[in-house]
Amino acid sequence: MKNENYELAKRLRHELHQHPELSNEEVWTKKHLMDFLEANTKLEIIDNGSWFYCIYRAGTDKPNIAFRADFDALPMDEYIELPWGSQIPGKAHKCGHDGHSATLAGFALEIDQMGADRDIFFLFQPAEETGDGAIQCVDFIKEHNIDEIYAYHNMSGFPYKSVGIIDGTTMCASKGMTIHLEGAPTHASQPEKGVNPSFAIGKILGAIPEFTSPEKNKGLILCTVVQIDVGEKAFGIAASKGDLRMTIRALYEEELDRLQENLENFAKAQAEEFGLKVSFQYNDEFPETFNHKESADKVRFVTKAKGIELVEMKEAFRGSEDFGHYTKLTKGAFFFIGNGEDHPHVHTNEFDFRDELIESGVELFKELVKL
C-alpha cells in the first residue's frame, strides 16, 4: 500500500473515531466517507440514503466483485485516552468499524490510482450492530450481478496480522426474542381472583434446557435469558404482566427457526392453560454468516501468497454478523485479521482498532481482485 494512501486512510479512521454514530443514525459518518472518496478518487459514487457504494469500472466481461465495510459505532463511552478519542459522550467505535471503513476507503484509493482488470464495487453499510444494515443493502447484489463479495473483521485473540478463516458457518445466527404475557391484576391478598403470568414464565424457563439439548440439535444452540420483567414494585398488587427477554442463537438458521417455533408454541400452550394473552417481539435479527468454500479458499491462497500466518478456525464464533444476507445471494467469504493474542477485545472499554490492520486488509483485498 502506498504510504500516502495509508496515511490518508489512517487519518480518516481517526476522524471517524472522533465522531461515532449509532446504528441507523450515521449521517455525518456516511457523508464524511463520501466526501473523502469524492475528494481523493474519480470513482462513481452512488448514494442510497442510509448507505452508499462506489464503483471502479474496467469495462470487461469478468465477474463483478464487491467488498463491504460497516460504519456504525456502539453505545459506549470512550474509557481510554486517545488523541482521536470519541467527542460524543455515550458513543464510541469499540468494535472497529471505523477501521473497516478506513480499510475499504484506502483500498478504493489504491484501485483508483493503480487500476484493475475487472469491475469492483465498494459497499459502505450502516447498522451492522443491530442486524438491520445488510438487509437494507442486499438488493445491491442482484442489481449489479455481484458474483463474489468479501469483508473482514478485526479479531483479538488471533496472532497480530494473522488471517482467520473457516468453511461454512463462521458466525452464528441469532435474534432477540421477547415473550409478552398479560393476565389480570388483583389485590395481593386475593391472588386467586387475578391472572398472574409468573407461573407460565417459570414453566417456559424450565423448558429451555430441553429445547437446547445437544442431543436434539446438530449444531450449537443457545437460549440466553437477558431479562425477566414481571409485575411492579407494589406489594399490594399481584403481577398481571410479564416479559421474558432472551437471545436465541444457533450455528444453523434452520435450528434457530425451530428453537423459535418451539418457544412460541410452548408459550402459547402456557398462555392457554393459565388464561393469559401472549405476544412475541423480535430485535437484532442476524442470519448465520456463511463462507462459500471457493471464496474461503481464495482467502487462503492470497494469505499464503503474501506470507501471512493463516489460522484455520476449528469452529464458528458464537457472535453474529449481518454479512450472511449477502452470501445467501452470491458467493463470498468473511474472514478475520488478528489484533494480537493480548489485544483488548471488541465491545470492551479498552479496545481501539489497530491502524496497521488497514494496510493488511487493503493488501488482501488487492490480491483477491486478481483471482
- Nine-digit cell at 121? 464495487
- Cell 458474483, residue located: 147
User: pLDDT tens digits, residue range 307-326?
Assistant: 999 999 999 999 999 999 99
Determine how β-strand 277-286 pairs with β-strand 331-340: unpaired
Q: State the Cα–Cα distance between residues 7 and 364, nearest whole angstrom.
A: 18
**Average model confidence (pLDDT) for the chain?**
98
- Nine-digit cell at 274? 393459565
- Predicted local distance difference test score (pLDDT) of residue 147: 98
Residue boundaries of the structural domains of the chain: 3-170+288-369, 173-285
Neighbour-count burial for 301-321, b at 16+ CB within 10 Å, e otherwise: ebbeeeebeebebeebbeebb
Q: State the pTM of this model.
A: 0.96
Q: Which CATH number fits domain 3-170+288-369: 3.40.50.10440, 3.30.1360.100, 3.40.630.10, 3.40.50.300?
A: 3.40.630.10
Question: Mean pLDDT, to the nearest integer, of 7-14?
Answer: 98
- Predicted local distance difference test score (pLDDT) of residue 109: 98
Strand partners, 49: none
CATH class of the region 173-285: alpha beta
Asked whether the CA dihedral 277, 267, 132, 91 is positive or negative, the reply is positive
Determine how β-strand 52-56 pairs with β-strand 120-125: antiparallel
Nearest one of 135, 139, 171, 133 to 152, comparing CA atoms: 171
Q: Residue 227, SS3?
A: strand
User: pLDDT tens digits, residue range 217-237?
Assistant: 999 999 999 999 999 999 999
